[in-house]
Structure 1
Amino acid sequence: MKGTAGCIRNDLLRENAEGVGQVKLTEGTEIDDFLFLTMNGNCESFRSQLKRDFTAVIFLRHLGCGMSQLDMLKYRDAYHFLKNQGIEIMMVIQGTEAAVSERTAKMKIPYTVIADPDQALYEHFDIPSSDSMRNLVYGVSEEKLLEFEYYGIECQRFEGNELQLQATIVVDRKGQVVLSHYSENISDVPSPSELYQMLQAVPVRN
């Protein structure tokens, strides 16, 4: 899969999930299909992207968040290894299509990043926000904070919902959720190696 930056269209999401409301992505459920626009203006179906054994959809916070930048860069560096293991990576982040496109190009991101400025997917898939800034950063990973210097990351102004939490959802080729992790704080996203290890125990379904 070629790295692209796309944008959710709320009308397309509502049309595909009409009458469904919020859906929590728990293991064993099937993810609703949704449509997104690529940088080229093409309308793509999420289900049409499920070409590998597993597809991890990682919902991050916003482009100014240092932790979200770190997760994007770590998955960039591990992308080819994960791809060779049958694992595709997609990410969803708050931000305009133009901003996400510019930033992902600068960061040389090889996987698809979907811009969701109106938080349509966050809302539809019931990905919560923290109830306070204190709880958002409580228990933050010191190891991840030390990695900021290695990657030269600087936190920037927030964009959208600053209290938004993350989620890591992995589906198989048929769209069934095989791994569901809703984050508890700003650093609570599995690393590429942790994700790989967790998927070793999940049988591949063709």
Structure 2
Amino acid sequence: MARLKVGDILPDFRYETPFERGLLMSSTACKANRTALVFLRYYGCTLCQYDMHEIADNYQHILGGGAQLLVVLQSEPKKLARQLAPDAFPFSIVCDPQQELYHRFEIMPARSKESMLDSATLRKIEKARQLFSHGEYEGEELQLPAVFVFDGRLSISYVHYGKTAGDIPGTDELIALLT
């Protein structure tokens, strides 16, 4: 499949969270005006933990606009269920340990560790290390992020394929995209 672009219809898919199985993205998407699907690496990654907590801290603003957000991780659902309480985050975590969605939507890994880092990402990593401890490694260590925003009919209004490990829209930009 080719990379997604604005105007495409997101192909529907089944997914699971650490606490639920057999969910359908089309059923989830129709519950909100807009949905953001944020692809990160895995939960043990300090940078991913940082991004998830930044989103969680601002999630009420996302909900206020009638939107929702889901984070996709390459983590095993059973491992996350042991690590997290069901209400640890105000959004759902889509577990994709086999990276099927990453491959399907052509969210590629970086070519090298050096190519996935820029000065902004290094600053973000430094902040993350002050707040979080690195956990277990899972998935593709060089995985780059991506963000897709779509409506209840899965029509995509925003696409961002990250160029570095920290390259996702900030929370203010996410809120603006979703409200």
TM above 0.5, yes or no, is yes
Judging changes above 3 Å, is the alpha-carbon distance between structure 1 residues 162 and 108 closer, same or farther for their aligned structure 2 residues? same
* Residue matched to 1:187: 166
Q: Does 1:60 align with 2:40?
A: yes
TM-score, L = length of structure 1? 0.78
2:92 to 94, 107, 112: 112
> What percentage of residue pairs aligned between the two structures are identical?
28
Q: Distance in 2 between matches of 1:189 and 1:126?
A: 16
- Listed as ranges, the matches of 1:1-206 within 5 Å are 22-39=1-18, 42-50=21-29, 51-105=31-85, 108-141=88-121, 143-145=123-125, 147-148=127-128, 152-199=131-178
Runs of 4+ in 1 over 6 A off after TM superposition: none
Judging changes above 3 Å, is the alpha-carbon distance between structure 1 residues 40 and 97 closer, same or farther for their aligned structure 2 residues? closer
Segments of structure 1 that go 5 or more residues without pairing to the other structure are 1-21, 201-206
Offset of residue 77 of structure 1: 1.2
Deviates more, 1:73-82 or 1:115-124: 73-82
**Number of aligned pairs?**
178
TM-score, L = length of structure 2? 0.89
Segments of structure 2 that go 5 or more residues without pairing to the other structure are none
Q: Distance in 2 between matches of 1:68 and 1:187?
A: 9
2:160 aligns to what SS in structure 1? strand
Judging changes above 3 Å, is the alpha-carbon distance between structure 1 residues 37 and 115 closer, same or farther for their aligned structure 2 residues? closer
Larger radius of gyration: 1
